[in-house]
Structure 1
Amino acid sequence: MEEKNLERIHVINEMLLELAVGNFYYRIERSSNNDEVEALIMTLNMFAEEMQNANIHQRILNSSKIPLDIAQMSFVLNQTSLIQMVNANASGILSYSNDTFIGKPFTSFLENESALKWDTVIKQFYEKNLFETSTQLKFKTKEGLSIPKTVYISLFQNLKGTENWLLLTVIHHSSYKEQLDLNLKGKINNKAINFPNSKKNNLKQKVKLSYEDIRKIRTGYDRIVNNVEMEFPSLREFALELGTNEFKLKYGFKALYGITVHRFLIQERLRKAQMLIQYSDDSIKSIAYAVGFKSMPHFSRVFKKMFNYTPSDLRNYHNIKDNKL
């Protein structure tokens, strides 16, 4: 038994190494054991799945109303790790003006130990020809405060296509997500997880979600993300398609993602529309229909409500910007 556990721990160690270099597609095959090691394996598998989804979706899904992992600070570095661009959040969090960052070494805003770690990480990144990876770093504010964060590193070509640059995304993990991860660390194999219902409704009843329920709800999440243009069925029919019931889908989705199914669908449609308006030449009307809206006035109204500008404003801005290049 001890030898078998050592083999399982070895597999866990391999997965951690894979996660460390940015391979969030790695999974450990489940066993029939019901112990702490198996609980850890389940947690790692679910963490990898969350990070895989985060890389694909959460950098774009950026509403402050969603208690999930959200992009907090972003840096663009050239090949020598000099900062070329930085977002406003980074300026606010680290208490420096935007101009202070531009042209400075990224390590100037890290603690000494993290600066040395960064040099090692980025050297290995280029030597191994990686496209994505992640690492833990400690930022230092203007006041000397230490801010430990996970940094996700992605390789891309600059606008001129002359050299490879780095996009650094710092993810903020909400307290709700952390609490959810703690819940998942329990022995949940074939057991239920209790999530409180919406406080708004003051319901005393609790939603009971098994791991299988969570998997089905995540399937629903992925189906929405990948099929925003389709006409979605009623919540009851959608739940039946996923193999669950309306009650678990409705409250389970809200518990896992902090947003209702319908509102998430609208947000994803608007997110895709925003990207198409910026990066395609399709008319705004055709884009609205392409992402599932049946009415232009309705599309324009909800778009402005979410982004604080109209679809036409966004298109005009990018047309002017492109003409200046």
Structure 2
Amino acid sequence: MKNQKELQQIVDIFKLLFEIATGTRTTQARKLENQSELEKIYNELIDFDEKLQVFMKANNLYVPSVAHENLTQLIFVLNKQQEVVNFNQEVLLLLHYNSEELINIQFEQLIALEFREVWRQIVKKRKPQLWTPNYAKLTFITTEGKLFPTYCSITNMAPNYEIIVTSIITEKESTAKLHEQWFELTNKDIIQKNFSIKLYDYIMERLNQQLPSLQTIARELGTEEHLLKTGFKKYYKTSVYQLYQDERLKRAEVLIQQTAIPLKEIAYLCGFKSYLNFYKSFKKKYKYAPSDLLRKT
């Protein structure tokens, strides 16, 4: 229960921060008992807001409403069978469904084909009692067959462990801008994008080892080398081995900063054959040596 209570307090803190930043607070928040660290943070935010309101009033200032008016939030409520049981109005407006079409539909039917496996893997790994949200990039498909890409948070709700899928995006991305960018994919495009996603996952699962040749990878994935190469460049704006190198170095940087693992071992964990090779690659990318980073002791 303690973890559940703390999670709710964190949600309340972020909600209060959002209301302060956008000027959308309509009622005065009540202070908490001020016993835990989270309660102290919440109370400090209330004090800060009160001082800010006094200053704004004294100087005839107001918070512009543009920021929060330009936000759009998609909300889906799913049952244990992953059927849609509720949703907000924006879902209807942006995906062009009507209420009757959405109720009891399998959620993955709203997701573009190439992203359904992403959703399945999330559901497969999640546990009903797990409160920590997952985050994933999902692309929804409208009734006209057009694509709506967005980042989503997936979590559970007590007491029935319903699945909540939410996404907050700016209006610039969600309405006029995305209406211009929506596009219909041909079968060839879908196949190429599917292989690019598979290749990306293949790379991310092997950051701790040497990557095979592109010809070998293409054979394993059941496609041709040149198609894999051009498709990956098209959708990820970089080459296969450049992404592989960049992601290994990103992982190494995190390990250096967040752990006390020896640098030579980190080089090995990130798939480099030698520390010298790792050192040269790291310094070339970040312009400083691995040993220059502040480390946990």
TM-score norm. by structure 2 comes to: 0.46
Mark the structure with the bigger radius of gyration.
2
TM-score (norm 1): 0.43
